[in-house]
Structure 1
């Protein structure tokens, strides 16, 4: 038997005991439905049926205090409640003993006193249950709200119960004191219950069950007392107040059972009025209605008119307070510039959206909107022009969204739209496209015509969005994907846009040996020795298959994952090249070219890393060429120059890749330790048919020769292009005409074949 089954067995036994005792208590329901037995028999059945429930409640309460994993405050609360449980056990036992004695016990009996003694401990326990942290102002408002409710309840109890008791003549003082103490205790219990509900204290469902138990008790007590005081009628055992008392006792048992089944201390919910904010107003309405009922037989002049005036003034105060709260709420959740919702309300709406269950026929989405070219407007024309643009964006948002949607400004030029209850996902994409179109409309500001566009990221609430942060992160990833792809449109989130997940996936690819290196030959264009190869990385993705560098290198550069990828490529290509040299003496003069990313160049440990890789693989430094992009040499820092010089002193060649496509200054070709210049494929295309293209390519070749650099041309696709490059003096070339990139074992076979240096004619 497994540990899970061993732990589950006591829980199942406890649950069976709880419901079994509830079934015993159910005989009161049977008694209520059938009216069986005399008063004495009904009272005996009633007291006997209670014992299993109250005993089990006390036992489980004691276990909860000792083994329930409660924090100190909650343990004190349940300890006080446990005292109340024990008082109830004692009260029912005493009631059974009294039943065995002849005659009815005098009122108030010992069991009555024990019932009453339990109430203060219940009140204290309810007030000590954990609740959310609140400011001083929030605590004062909470106290006022609870006192309003208690005031209304006090008026009702005074009118129907306490007042008539105090006016009763000839009543025994002890009986009067006890009979008055019961509604007062119930009133305090109502106050504690209201405080518990308004504080939104949370111990799971346990608090709701406790609240229900106390509410049933107060209703049963009040009903029993009012019937006796107002109408002289005493309910017999088995009637419906006894049914409410029984239900309350069982709910209290369920509360202990449910709390015992939870793990760890209870967590208080976020402060808020929630659905119980109407309680103070309900209490005022109750008090006013009661006042009007009491004065129904009074003359309208002068007493009746005063009462009506008091009710009217109270109603106006309530309306004024509700309007003030609504206005305060509006100001608290509104952006003052645009009139849209602010970040607080957007966060609230997102939380509501995430709480909704995921359904196939209802979809929820969030649109994250960032304005393109907004900062230049602010810088060039001032903040008033920027504010005009933001207000125009707000107008466009209101025109596009539905009445139930929420549009808001998160700050600066960033907006969000929450779309709940969409029939299809395509509906959200339609809203996004209409927003893209609407925000392209220029904004007139004085004599200026201000143009902006928007990049919009769309994310849907589904199984992957467990909270608002995740949903916003998805929309944010989609929005930045739009910005990388040219701005001015929208994109729906997909897992491959998740920068954190993709970065982790790329790094795992290195650890899991999912990367592979292919090699493309670099040959002398005029024949002769000097064969080289360029190492090119591929990702053998377990799901998407073999991916070319364009599918992941730019993203790896952005996130920094290119650093471990670059180190792996250098180590793996040097290892394979060293193996070719050992197996084939003709490959000793083979040159290996490996791309070095901009992120790698700025690493302080670059030189040490490359030195360690060469030592580990045994590949000679003077046969290695590191290829840099123009962005690296555009404005090199002193540290970058020092690292490149250190690599050059080791004998490593430095190549400028894709020369001519960027903005590299020619002066850096002299100041940096560059040995090779690679002409981009865009300058090779058309040289065999276009004289102008030929002239430009020839100028680049002559420039490299003037700087005493070796020249390599990329992208040679025809024999005519190869011939033209050879004629203009280009030393080396690579491209599909010569050989496609291939795995290492295929290249090893080519190294032993004849005529590779002359290419394929």
Structure 2
């Protein structure tokens, strides 16, 4: 996290939050943005830095809690407290991090200016001691302080919080092959890349010669730590150019969740470093996330060891679930699904081995293998006349694949290699990927669309899609998650939710596929709601490749 720049006060910006229903007496000389709660206050400040003003009738524990939360979440923000009535405990507000506390509205504007000047000076003084001079990032001392503060906040909020450590591999060879200046250029460039994919609320630091660390706070769910690791890993895929030479990067990533290290900074760092060693053995810019050694985790550990050789030993295969017209008489395509049949563990469910692939960093390799296998199989069916010419094969993309800078090149390369036209392929991505995407991923989707590849949003309704994204991005299908579909035809609420999703999709000119259709009553109600396609056990379970032609023949 970079320190704030000095705030320019020709036209001050104030983020104002009134507590305990106190009527705000807003100053006219500044631009004021009202914020409903502490969270929106923090989010607003991160979008446009200014001065935070907390307003209350008088001192209260609620005011103290919000102040403490704000100063910990935004340690670089100037903060002023204004009270309607003085209180003997006002000094505690200064101890909790406020730069100024006033009770007279006439004193507010001078207090805002003083708070900003004081905070800017404080940041400047701290930066000389606590910032890495090469990258401008916090150094190990500031990182340790931030980590301890974050763990204290995590104890109270119970929000998932993680630590990620990145080591550049064989960094000493870089200086030997090029120069120390080249090494510095790589570190500075990587620091900028990492800064561009991390949130302002997180702390990114350089804690060693070739080591970076990230404190990821307030994760929505523990799974988000995987996405953080994938974003960091993706920054290593693009070489750094130095004096006309392209320098390839290689790194390893270890991560741990605070809850699994008993909120202790030392344990959290130790666990992240332990799995960092495992990531180095895997290579290929991999990441590994620490898990405690419960009985379930020991089973998981066995799966981790076994899955490294699963592809080579031909234990991984593909199955295909038909996607049908609403009357069940016509096949529109198939969804390709990865399966693992281990000689000891037997058939390992995807919900068990897919997370293992993600935490071991193998998901990218397996994901591309699945895409190539599905395209080869579908091309074979088309050549043999065993699949309708207007049918498509749907393949799921992982988050790690989606954020690769050369994703489009890889997909188009596979299609070219197997001889399958883009019009036969649909790529399924999740809502979370859409929300975390950027201009580059939008360009990737546009390029894939140009090649007639369709895009589907999988498990729609389980995430936080922006309607603006759905409207502007090149998307063709919404797949309603089975958790919503199972209530359709059962209760009116389920019908209403599914109906609203279908109406939304159609208003955006998107087709809708219902997942997990198992009952005829569900199918019938979905027809009435205007759903376009469906898949589920009512029509067929996922089939081995050799059984698909027989199913297609029955639909002809």
More strand by share: 2
Which of the pair has the greater relative contact order for Cα pairs under 8 Å at 6+ separation?
Answer: 2
In our comparison, the structure showing a higher alpha carbon Rg is 1
More helix by share: 1
Q: Give TM-score scaled by structure 2 length.
A: 0.48
